[in-house]
Structure 1
Amino acid sequence: MSLTIEQAVKAHVVAAAAFLPTVEATFHYDARDPFAVRVDFPASATLEGTEVSWTFARELLREGLTGPVGTGDVRVRPHGWERLIVEFHAPEGMAVVHLPSAEVRGFLERTAAVVAPGEERITVDLDRCLAALMREG
């Protein structure tokens, strides 16, 4: 079984000035960092015309399917059963992204097959993490 998961999703990005057409964002999950997911947006999804990546807690994405969560840079909430709204807050501004809930659920199911929710701590290589922290310090 693969330790990494990638899945394209159709995203509607709402910017401060305009509603942009549907873009293909890509979710990533890597069992070496079992608590996190990453989503990459193509340059066409941003007002600046540059690719953007956000990394945040997988749990935030999972909990956001059933109720509003997040108080920091990433906030997630359901919009009915079919749509998930993710807000990305940065010093430059905020983006609101509408995602199909079914695609997000499918992605999360695939990540759970690699590392089940609640078992992330078991898979973390503490020695590797400590060594990385020591190199950064």
Structure 2
Amino acid sequence: MTAAPIVVEQVVQARLYVTTHRTAVLRVALRYRSDDPLAVRMAFPAEFSLDGTPLPEAPPEVEWVFARWLLAAGLDAPSGMGDVHLRPAASGRTMLELRSAEGVALLQFDGAQLRHFLAETLLAVPEGDEALLLDADRALAELLG
């Protein structure tokens, strides 16, 4: 019998830049699980499209998954690969850019809140210990469907 995974979850506010003159404040759920130790998840409310118009039949949230190391790196220097880019900004803020076929979303977070979340994940699984918790059979099964 295996132990239950450690789950870290924190809800933070983010500012979504809808246009250069219009922003929206969102509640974003940050999630981490010790049974998926390399990844962090950000769940965004899906009730608005990238242009800020309501979506009538949207799912409750849209989740983006990316590497925990990317979050750590992006708090101190511009970092990013593929669809997810992070960079520090003025006044202790952190900018997150998400790219998809539908467009680009630019969000601003309080860097201290992201650092707190990252610190909690590192208490759950210290950096360098991720490989000890990886379940290769499960990951392969998920990959092959």
Residue-by-residue CA offset, 1:18-44 (whole Å, 9 max, x unaligned): 533321111010111111111111134
CA gap 1:58/1:74 in 2 versus in 1, 3 angstroms? same
Equivalent residue for 2:116? 106
CA gap 1:93/1:131 in 2 versus in 1, 3 angstroms? closer
- Deviation larger for 25-34 or 43-52: 43-52
Residue-by-residue CA offset, 1:86-130 (whole Å, 9 max, x unaligned): 000001100001000000000001000111122211111223223
**Normalised TM-score (structure 1):** 0.87
CA gap 1:119/1:25 in 2 versus in 1, 3 angstroms? same
**What is the identity percentage for the equivalent residue pairs of Structure 1 and Structure 2?**
36
**Normalised TM-score (structure 2):** 0.83
Equivalent residue for 1:80? 90
CA gap 1:58/1:81 in 2 versus in 1, 3 angstroms? farther
Asked if the contact 1:13/1:45 (under 8 Å) is kept, the reply is no
Equivalent residue for 2:102? 92
Spell out structure 1 runs of 4+ moving beyond 6 A: none
Equivalent residue for 1:39? 42
Equivalent residue pairs, number? 135
Q: How far off its partner does 1:70 sit?
A: 0.8
- Distance between the aligned counterparts of 2:16 and 2:77, measured in 1? 20
Matched, 1:62 2:72: yes
- Distance between the aligned counterparts of 2:38 and 2:93, measured in 1? 23
- Distance between the aligned counterparts of 2:134 and 2:107, measured in 1? 30
Residue identity matched to 1:85: M
| Structure 2 residue matching 1:122: 3-state secondary structure | helix
Asked if the contact 1:66/1:78 (under 8 Å) is kept, the reply is yes
Asked if the contact 1:20/1:45 (under 8 Å) is kept, the reply is no
Residue-by-residue CA offset, 1:48-100 (whole Å, 9 max, x unaligned): 53332111111111100110011310000000351000000001100001000
- The gaps in structure 2 that reach 5 residues or longer are none
| Structure 2 residue matching 1:67: 3-state secondary structure | coil
- Distance between the aligned counterparts of 2:112 and 2:48, measured in 1? 21
